[in-house]
Amino acid sequence: MPIEALIFDFDGVVLDTETPDFETWRAVFQLHGAVFELSWWSQFIGGSTSSVDIIGELERMTGRTVDRHQVRETRRQRYLEIVSASPMLPGVVDYISDAKRMGLKLGVASSSNRSWVEGHLTERGIIHHFDSISVSEDVRYVKPEPDLYLLAASKLGVSPENSLAIEDSAKGVTAAKTAGMFCVAVPNVATQNLSLGHADVRLDALSDMPLESLLRAIKT
């Protein structure tokens, strides 16, 4: 089936927001004499983290209560500073420009909220390239359920089978494959040790394989 649309995850694919998320929480835990394990945190990456009681985990590990508001706000401020200063991940701009040149439709399917995704896409001057943006407010269930990818394909007017999803997490790959899409996994530091074997292709970075080469590989 010919690929007619390219659908990006956002966090960890367009921007590596996940590594600084982990690193800033790890710094908080270290400050309190505890260890923030990536193996624990990685189980939540790609889905909704709003219900994860990270500070509760810190209090459980240390046996002490903390000023939750202060910890949360100080950590988030540092996190936002790092993300705002982060460049887009290698190959993203090339994939976008190549997709446009080839007449492919472009979408985003993210478990994050609209203000987060659209804010960063706008800040980096690329939001106008996308024909649709599907986010957590648009569906009942986020990844690993397929809802976001099915919605993205519907908005773009293409079938899931004619869509190529770009993901970095196990939950994201599961969502894309359950939706019936071809999926490329491009893990970052925070997701590189996750089980991503259910993706069709795994790359260290999008810059490792031009889009045209990837599409040729899919056809074969």
pLDDT tens for 173-183 read: 999 999 999 99
118 shares a domain with 25: no
126 shares a domain with 147: yes
C-alpha torsion sign, points 129, 7, 3, 156? negative
Q: Is 9 a catalytic residue?
A: yes
Q: Write down the mean pLDDT value for the chain.
A: 94
State the pLDDT at residue 84: 93
DSSP state for residue 34 in the 8-state scheme = -
pTM: 0.92
Average pLDDT over residues 176-197: 91
Query: Which of 59, 85, 111 marks a domain boundary?
Result: 85
Window from 15-19, 111-115, 207-211, 215-219 with minimum mean pLDDT: 215-219
148 shares a domain with 184: yes
CB contact at 8 A, 97 and 212: no
Average pLDDT over residues 107-123: 97
State the pLDDT at residue 1: 67
117 shares a domain with 80: no
Report the C-alpha gap between 45 and 68 in whole angstroms.
Answer: 22
Query: Which of 56, 85, 114 marks a domain boundary?
Result: 85
**Residue from 9, 21, 147, 168 carrying the catalytic annotation:** 9
190 shares a domain with 121: yes
Q: Residue 121: which of 134, 112, 109, 130 has the closest Cα?
A: 130
Q: Which residue has the tokens 């407010």?
A: 137
Alpha helices in 48-146 (DSSP H): 54-62, 68-85, 92-101, 114-123
Compare 28 and 195 and report the one with higher pLDDT.
28
CATH code (residue 112): 3.40.50.1000
CB contact at 8 A, 133 and 118: yes
* Domain span holding position 72: 18-85
State the pLDDT at residue 112: 95
